[in-house]
Structure 1
Amino acid sequence: GTHLGGGICEMIGRMDYAYRLQDEAYFLGSYEPMLIKHPPSHYLKMMYLESTCYHPPAARCAFETVGPDHFIFGTDSPPLMVLKKEGVELIKKLGLSAGDERKVYYENAKKLLKI
């Protein structure tokens, strides 16, 4: 998912909560039962999210939600090459281990693209 998954990491807790409440929410009226076997966060952790944003706390939320094996470096560059520098600075501000940085910068992309 581009741009940290579009804000889903901020909402996943609420989605998991709704999943847990489905048997108790009868008072809300009838609605279709969920057709998934696991909480939504289980499926989100299967996605790859890329790091394009300019707010380290938001990037940290996405990184912690999907984990170091599913977070990929990304920028809005081109068209503006200066954005690449901002993207690198964002990753530095996260204070990741050297191993996690390697995953974010290239190992995860290689795995995803099978190269």
Structure 2
Amino acid sequence: SAGGPAGAAGPPAGPPDPSAVPPAADPAAALRRLYVDTSTFSPTHLGLNAEILGPERMLFGTDSPPLSVPLEDFIRMIEKLPVDKASQQLILGGNAEAVFDLRSRP
């Protein structure tokens, strides 16, 4: 059939039925579960992520070698963010330790 697999009628014609879609979850709740990495290499983007999501939602990541900037420069970008030293440490490793349960165990 022209509409897809045999027996498939395709989507119904006409406007969507809003009652058929469940209400969306609270967007703010979804943002509290969102993490971003630092592989953007842009001080502006890093700053916006820190401002909007908070440093506790940022994970250090280079995305892959080769880096487009030396690692030391990349770490300096994070150190120049308008956050305190404790927040910088979260970004540089503390958050990953918590999210992936990497802390050493007794």
What TM-score, normalized to structure 2? Answer: 0.65
How far off its partner does 1:82 sit? Answer: 4.3
Question: In structure 1, the residue corresponding to 2:80 is in which secondary structure?
Answer: helix
Q: For 1:72-110, what per-residue CA distance to the aligned partner results, in whole angstroms no more than 9, with x for missing partners?
A: 111144224844223212202213201101111111000
| Aligned-partner Cα distance in 2 for 1:56–1:82 | 12
Q: Post-superposition, which runs of at least 4 consecutive aligned residues in structure 1 deviate over 6 A?
A: none
How far off its partner does 1:31 sit? Answer: 4.9
Q: Does residue 37 in structure 1 map to residue 11 in structure 2?
A: no
| Aligned-partner Cα distance in 2 for 1:37–1:80 | 37
| Aligned twin of 1:70 | 57
How far off its partner does 1:34 sit? Answer: 5.2
Q: Does residue 57 in structure 1 map to residue 47 in structure 2?
A: no
Question: In structure 1, the residue corresponding to 2:74 is in which secondary structure?
Answer: helix
Which of structures 1 and 2 has the larger relative contact order (alpha carbons within 8 angstroms, sep 6+)? 1
Tell whether the 8 Å contact from 2:60 to 2:91 is kept in structure 1 after alignment. yes
Higher gyration radius (CA): 2
Q: Compared with structure 1, are the counterparts of its residues 34 and 102 closer, same or farther at alpha carbon in structure 2 (3 Å cutoff)?
A: same
Q: How many residue pairs get matched? A: 86
Q: Does residue 91 in structure 1 map to residue 78 in structure 2?
A: yes
| Aligned-partner Cα distance in 1 for 2:63–2:36 | 14
More helix by share: 1
| Aligned twin of 2:91 | 104
What TM-score, normalized to structure 1? Answer: 0.60
How far off its partner does 1:30 sit? Answer: 4.2
Question: In structure 2, the residue corresponding to 1:94 is in which secondary structure?
Answer: coil
One-letter identity of the residue aligned with 1:36: A
